[in-house]
Chains A and B, each alone.
Chain A
Amino acid sequence: MKITKYYKHAKTSGQSRLAKWILVTIAILFLGLFLLLPLIAVFTEALRNGIRAYVASFTTPDTISAIRLTLITTAIAVPLNLVFGVAAAWAIAKFDFRGKGILITLIDLPFAVSPVVSGLIFILLFGLHGWFGPWLTEHNIKIVFAIPGIVLATTFITFPFIARELIPLMQSQGTEEEQAALVLGAGGWRTFFRITLPNIKWGLLYGVILCSARAIGEFGAVSVVSGHIRGQTNTLPLHIEILYNEYDFVGAFSVASLLTMFAFVTLLIKSIVEWKFSKDLQEYSNDSNRS
C-alpha cells in the first residue's frame, strides 16, 4: 500500500519515466497479442458469414445437444463438488485426525495429474476391458463413452477448486465461533448453517465459479471418456473440435464465442465476488488484530 503510494507521488525522473513507458508498452503488447487478438479472431471468424449464419450455427441439433450435455454435466459436477469440497475442507480445517496430510495431497491430485491421464484412469476402471468392465456389461450399465463417464471425469477434474479455496479460509477462521454456538445450545447442523456457512459464503461462491468455469471448459479428460458420439456424448469443447476438424469454421468459432462469452460473465462475477471476499477477509484480519 505504502509503496505504491510512494511511487505514485514520487516525481519520476526522465529515465524512470522512460522505463515506465517501456514496461507498460510491453505489457499492453503482450496482452494484445495473447488475449485480445484471439478474442477478436474468435468473433470475426464467427461472424464471417454474417449474423444469420452465426445464429444458425447454434440451432443445429448437434450444437443444441452439446450445450445440453455441458449444462447437465456442470449441473451435476458442481453441486457434487460443493458438498465434497465443503466436507473435505471442514474436516481438514476443523479437526485433527490421522491421514490428514494424505487427504490434502489427494485433493490436489487432479491438479497434478494430466487430464488425459485422469480420463484414461476411468477407462481403465470402467472400460469394456477395465476392472469393473465385465460386471458393468453384465448389469447393462454404461459409464465410459456415455454421460456418466463424462460427469465422473468432470467431477474428478474440478474437485480441488472448492476445497482448495475453503481450506485456508476455514483454517484462518478457527473453530471458536462454532464452539460458541454449540455452548449456546445450537446443534451441529444449525451451527453449520448459521455460523460456518455464512462465514465462508464468499470463498465458497468464488470456488463454485472457478469450478463451473472449469467444468464447462474441460476438454482433456472428457475427450478420453466421451467417445465423441455426435449428438450424444459431445460437450461444447469437444463439439468445437469436431466442427473445426470438419472445416466448419463459422460453426466452430460461433460455438467458441459462446464459451468466450461465458468466460466474460465468469470474470465479471469473479471480480465482484473477489472484491466482496477480500473485504470480508480484511474485516476478519482487522478483527483478529484488534482482539
Chain B
Amino acid sequence: MSIEVRNISRMFGTFAALRNVSLKIPSGELVALLGPSGSGKTTLLRIIAGLDFADPGSGPILFHEDDVSNHDVGERQVGFVFQHYSLFRHMNIFENVAFGLNVRPRKSRPDKNDLKERVLKLLKLVQLERVAQLYPSQLSGGQRQRVALIRALAVEPKILLLDEPFGALDAKVRKELRQWLRRLHDEMSITSVFVTHDQEEALEVADRIAVLNAGRIEQEGTPEEVYDNPANPFVCDFLGSVNLFHCRVHNDRLHIGESELTEVSPGHTEHSSVVAYVRPHDIEISRTPHKDAIQSRVVHISTAGPIAKIQLIRLDTNEMVDAEITRQHYKQLQLRSGELVFINLHNPRVFVHDYVI
C-alpha cells in the first residue's frame, strides 16, 4: 500500500516541528527517514500512524489513494514499532504478540487454536519460541526488539512504521537486525518506513531515503542519488564525513590560490567564492611535487580497519583534511607522519553559500 503525505505542518507551541512536508512512498518499498535529533522524524512517523495529528491547513495523508487523515489510529491498521519497544510489561511474550489479534472484533478474531498457531509461527520466525512464557523484563534488548516487531506484524498490517528500531542496541546486533529486517520486508508484501539518525543504516538497507532537517525534507531519493548528488551542503554533510575547501570557479575548474585543481561539471558559472565538499575517499594523495595540488603535511595515520585513514594539515590555510585510501595504496605510498605530500580533489560537490550552482 503506497503512502503519501502532502504539505504536513506541525507546531508545538511556537516551535515548528514539521514545515510543509510532502513525501510519496511507493508501495512495497522500504524507506528511511534520516535526520539529526530533533529534525521531526518521529513527529512525521506518528502523524502517518495517527498517534499525532497535523495542524489544520495541512494536506491529506493518503494510504493507497484513500485520505486517512481523519481516521483514528486504530482504524489506520498500521504496524508501529516504538523506539523503546514498549512491550506490555505485565503480559508474557506470547500474550504480547497475541494482543493485536485478541482485541479484534469478535467476527474477525481468530479462534483459539488458530491464534496460537499464528503467534507461534511468528515467534519461530524470530527464533523466540523458547521465551514465549517469559516477561519482557527477562529478555535482552535485541530479543525485545524482535518481539516488538512481530507484535506489530501479528495483525498483518499493510504498512509498517518503525521509530529508530535498532537505536538502543549495540553495533553488532544492530547490523544483524537491520539485514534481517530487510529480508523480512522483502518476504512480506508490506510498505515500511523506518526512522534513523544513522546514515550508514539508511544507506545500507533502504530503497529510498528522505533526509530531514529542522522540520523540512531536504532531499528524497535512492541511496545512490542522495549520496552522490546531495542537493545541498546539509545533505552532503549528513551522509558521511566530508572536507570543505573554499575555492574559486574559473574556466570550469576549481582554483585555490595559484593551483588549478579538478574540473567541475560544465555549465558552472564563474564564481569567486564557492565551497567544495569532498569525501575523504575522494582525496588523492601523491608524493610527487605538483604545481596544481594543495601542499599538506601528514599529521596522523590510522591503519586499523579495512582502510587507512590519513589526517593532513594544509600548509596554505592550516586547515585539517581527512583522507581515506586503501591499505594497498597506503603500502605503496609508504607514508610517514610529518611528511610533505600533495593532494588533489575528485568528485567535488560545489555549493555557493547554501545553494547548488
Contact = CB atoms under 8 A, between A and B. Distances in A.
Given A176-B84, A184-B155, A186-B103, A287 B136 contact: yes
Contacts of B99: 181, 184, 186, 194
B103 A185 contact: yes
A183 B80 contact: yes
Interface stretch (B86-94, B180-188, B213-221): B86-94
Nearest to B167: A291
Interface string A59-81: 00000000000000000000000
A14 interface: no
A248 interface: no
Contact of A182 (B74, B79, B137): B74
Nearest to B161: A183
B74 A183 contact: yes
Contacts of B84: 176, 288, 291
Interface string B70-91: 0001100111101011111110
B357 interface: no
A195 interface: yes
A195 B89 CA distance: 9
Given A180-B80, A184-B103, A286 B137 contact: yes
Interface in A165-222: 176-177, 179-187, 190, 194-195, 198-199
Contact of B88 (A181, A183, A286): A181
Contact of B89 (A184, A185, A194, A199): A199
A288 B84 CA distance: 8
Interface in B121-179: 136-137, 141, 144, 151-152, 155, 168
A284 interface: yes
A123 B100 CA distance: 53
Contacts of B103: 181, 184-187, 190, 194
Contacts of B141: 290-291
A177 B88 contact: yes
B104 interface: yes
Contact of B137 (A181, A199, A287): A287
Interface string A271-291: 000000000000110111011
B278 interface: no
Contacts of A195: 88
Contacts of B151: 180, 184
Interface residues of B, number: 29
B51 interface: yes
Interface in B31-59: 49-51
A291 B140 CA distance: 9
Contacts of A185: 74, 77, 100, 103-104, 155
A179 B151 CA distance: 13
Contact of B100 (A176, A184, A283, A284): A184
Name, among A176, A198, A286, A288, the residue most crowded by chain B CB atoms within 10 Å (CB to CB). Answer: A176
A180 B74 contact: no
Nearest to B50: A183
A43 B89 CA distance: 46
A204 to B, nearest CB: 13
A251 to B, nearest CB: 48
A71 to B, nearest CB: 32
Nearest to B74: A185
A284 to B, nearest CB: 7
A180 B83 CA distance: 11
24 contacts: A177-B89, A179-B51, A179-B80, A180-B86, A180-B87, A180-B88, A180-B151, A183-B50, A183-B74, A183-B79, A184-B103, A184-B151, A185-B77, A185-B104, A185-B155, A186-B74, A187-B103, A194-B99, A194-B103, A198-B90, A199-B90, A287-B89, A291-B144, A291-B168
Given A184-B155, A286-B137, 12 more contacts: A179-B82, A179-B86, A180-B80, A181-B99, A183-B73, A183-B74, A185-B74, A194-B103, A283-B89, A287-B136, A290-B137, A291-B141
Ranked nearest first, the 5 interchain pairs of A and B with the lowest CB-CB distance are A184-B100, A176-B86, A186-B103, A183-B80, A198-B90
